Amino acid sequence: MDHQPKFFENLSGTGKAIGVLTSGGDAQGMNAAVRAVVRMGIYVKAKVYFVYEGYQGMVDGGDNIVEVSWESVSSILQVGGTVIGSARCKAFRTREGRLQAAYNLVQRGITNLCVIGGDGSLTGANLFREEWSGLLEELAQKGKIDEEAVKKYAYLNIVGMVGSIDNDFCGTDMTIGTDSALHRIIEVVDAIMTTAQSHQRTFVLEVMGRHCGYLALVSALACGADWVFIPEYPPEEGWEDSMCVKLSENRARKKRLNIIIVAEGAIDCHNKPITSEKVKDLVVQRLGFDTRVTILGHVQRGGTPSAFDRILASRMGVEAVLALLEATPDTPACVVSLSGNQAVRLPLMECVQMTQEVQKAMDEGRFVEAVRLRGRSFENNLNTYKLLSHKRPDAELPKTNFNVAVLNVGAPAAGMNAAVRAAVRVGITEGHKMFAVIDGFEGFARGKIKEISWGDVGGWTGQGGSILGTKRTLPAKYLEKIADQMRTNNINALMVIGGFEAYESCLQLHEARSCFEEFCVPICVLPATISNNVPGTDFSIGADTALNAIVETCDRIKQSASGTKRRVFIIETMGGYCGYLANMGALAAGADAAYIFEEQFDIRELQANVEHLTEKMKTSIQRGLVLRNENSNENYTTDFIYQLYSEEGKGVFDCRKNVLGHMQQGGAPSPFDRNFGTKISAKAMQWISKKLKETYRKGKVFANTDDSVCLLGMRRRNLVFQPVAELKNETDFVHRIPKEQWWLKLRPLMKILAKYKTSYDVSDSGQLEHVAVHSPKEAETGAI
């Protein structure tokens, strides 16, 4: 990045007033967005107002529009729904209603609005903005406001954030609330699977999504459902027969349960609804299976927001305030959203039009077009689901005569099993023979290798840990034995799923190619570690699950002190030398400080933190939270920090400490990790197939170029294959971390939200982009 960093210190909100409202259906994470808008607004010296009950409150005015302070949003981060209320509002749909709303805003000098809601709420906001000057003229004519006010408040700025569990808004990869809704669905599916297993039952699950099948599709992908019905991709004619054949085949293969997921808006190719009851009746009549229906309903909207939603909403809230500060009368109303791992701003109406285009395409039966308009992430999910859920008959499968081995290396991480399942199934579909290696490279050297079939990996997506078994041992000391095993089993390619050790192992194999020809085969590394410390990728499989475990525990720990006197908790997280878990955990749990190795700290900083907390505790704030990465500093240990805070806080607060330990490594994988593991694994296996074809010469595979040993990682917006040899320069091998880490840019965000003065580089934000409709080819290469 050659750009000059641009800091927001020169953006001042002095004299500006920002109104924040939530509208339409509620979604988990809305409170995190409200909190970020309020705190960032106050940080830049703007006045911030809550507008209670959405547009209804704006029309009614009075006590519904209230100026707020820093403390007003304390302790709301972990609360689901929206604390400022949301209501459907008929009055705002009329010009009279909007006239009244404009009057109420002008009375308080509010000309900047941050609207958190779905496409209906955002369309309403845009109309309001377009009519604004006309509304003020009308108010002046009626003598309600003077000409001075018309000039002073001449234009209204609007920034939207999409809060909707359906993820039905085009232009954004994830809307606020979607990840949390997936958490609720997966919790239910996991619970249902155990009872269905006992009774050999079939379950039909109905999930929300009247116009968008995202929740149904991703939960089907995340739990390995047998069949899924979504509005964008109706089943072909005669689906009843194909579905029943598939279900009975699965039973014949000794599968004790069947899961069918139905989106509430599911339709057939004649636009007729497919209901969960209809599906149940069909299964009972045709197959006589014991079948039950479960409708998830509003459970999906409820509960506490996931770590992902809290971080997403906090990032979006800060970005929204920056967008309002930079807006001019000519700036179109925009939405802040996420593309890959990148915050972007998009013209609101372009997004709304595209969202409406999808509905139009569905109404007119142009379903392929509808899927394409939903965006590459949706299309990718659909293609991966189709690839993994239906096994083609053996006679139809190609035969390549290639043998591909899959192994886990390093510490266990949730989501590894989902990755193994996807690798095995895609490999079989591509015509390869798949082999599983037990216990990493150590097991490989001992010949613990066996062929693995399609059915062997059934039900693996929801399992935590590593079913294949994993060891930290690097191959260097077993090179000869491993080469022997590769020769004996005729292994033509390797997929290595694991953390920093997996990356190092493949480097060693790459370097040993000159001595052992057996290693001249395509090798792909998939990053899977809770520490998220592998170079070449922004995210690793397992890190999201660990983050949720940390955040959930922090919530409980904070709650344990409610009602007692003021208390500060010092919490130690894992991660080796990588501060990802401590830093992101702090952002998602609303911590006051996070001590990490990457940002050195000294006694002066510790002292400043204690004083800062002491000042805070003198207000209405009752609880403090401090996270420390296990290796952040060898002398300033968790005990040391605990003792320092205890001593310095005497008389103001008392202290407790917790070491979270291995609970961060356990648990069922989160929806994100199941999905991420599944998708990158499928993509990696397709890359391996391509490499095998390219390097097959004279009856054997010979791959000795750098680009035949790659790591597949997510970089900003795209999935990229990077030669491990090239990643060497980006790696700090002593501390086992990448030299540059993207999340350090979010560190100031945590500090701002915890009331510290800091500088925040905003070079990456600020550019208004356009909504792009991708070509079908792009879906294969691009995003997650």
Annotated binding site for beta-D-fructose 2,6-bisphosphate: 472, 529-533, 567, 574-576, 630, 656, 662-665, 736
CB proximity list for 755: less than 8 A, separation 6 or greater: 39, 70, 612, 616
Could you give the C-alpha distances from 53 to 16, 89, 119, 673, 719, in angstroms and in order? 23, 9, 17, 35, 41
Distance (Å, whole) CA 52 – CA 13: 22
| CB atoms near residue 134 (< 10 Å) | 13
748 close to 759: Cβ distance less than 8 angstroms: yes
Is 90 exposed, middle or buried (CB count within 10 Å of its CB: 0-12, 13-18, 19+)? exposed
Which residues, in sequence order, are bridge partners of residue 163? 176
| CB atoms near residue 732 (< 10 Å) | 14
Distance (Å, whole) CA 85 – CA 57: 9
Distance (Å, whole) CA 129 – CA 632: 49
283 close to 244: Cβ distance less than 8 angstroms: yes
Amino acid identity, residue 114? C
Could you give the C-alpha distances from 124 to 55, 96, 160, 317, 457, in angstroms and in order? 9, 14, 11, 20, 49
DSSP code string of 187-232: HHHHHHHHHHHHHT-EEEEEE--SS--HHHHHHHHHHT-SEEE-TT
Which one of 2, 26, 60, 166 is the catalytic residue?
Answer: 166
Which residues, in sequence order, are bridge partners of residue 293? 204
The structure tokens listed for 747 are 């560190």
Distance (Å, whole) CA 329 – CA 155: 6
Nearest 10 degrees: CA dihedral of 425, 426, 428, 434?
Answer: -80
Distance (Å, whole) CA 23 – CA 353: 19
The SS3 of residue 44 is coil
Phi, psi of 375 (to 5 degrees): 115, 165
Distance (Å, whole) CA 313 – CA 114: 13
How many degrees, rounded to 5, is the angle at CA 519 between CA 515 and CA 524? Answer: 145
Question: For this structure, is 166 an active site residue?
Answer: yes
Phi, psi of 714 (to 5 degrees): -100, 120
User: Among residues 443, 430, 445, 437, which one has the least CA distance to residue 483?
Assistant: 445
Q: Please name the residue ranges forming H helices in 200-267.
A: 214-223, 239-252
**From the annotation, which residues make up the binding site?**
25, 88-89, 118-121, 164-166, 201, 208-210, 264, 292, 298-301, 472, 529-533, 567, 574-576, 630, 656, 662-665, 736
Distance (Å, whole) CA 612 – CA 621: 12
**From the annotation, which residues make up the binding site for substrate?**
164-166, 201, 208-210, 264, 292, 298-301
User: Among residues 569, 563, 675, which one has the least CA distance to residue 626?
Assistant: 569
Amino acid identity, residue 125? A
Question: Pairing state of beta strands 470-471 and 403-409?
Answer: parallel
How many degrees, rounded to 5, is the angle at CA 329 between CA 325 and CA 331? Answer: 70
Which helix (H) or strand (E) segment is 433 a member of?
strand 433-437
Question: In this structure, what DSSP letter does residue 768 have?
Answer: B
**From the annotation, which residues make up the binding site for ATP?**
25, 88-89, 118-121
455 close to 249: Cβ distance less than 8 angstroms: no
User: Among residues 407, 468, 395, 455, which one has the least CA distance to residue 431?
Assistant: 395
464 close to 414: Cβ distance less than 8 angstroms: yes
**From the annotation, which residues make up the binding site for Mg(2+)?**
119
The structure tokens listed for 161 are 């954030």
Show which residues are catalytic.
166
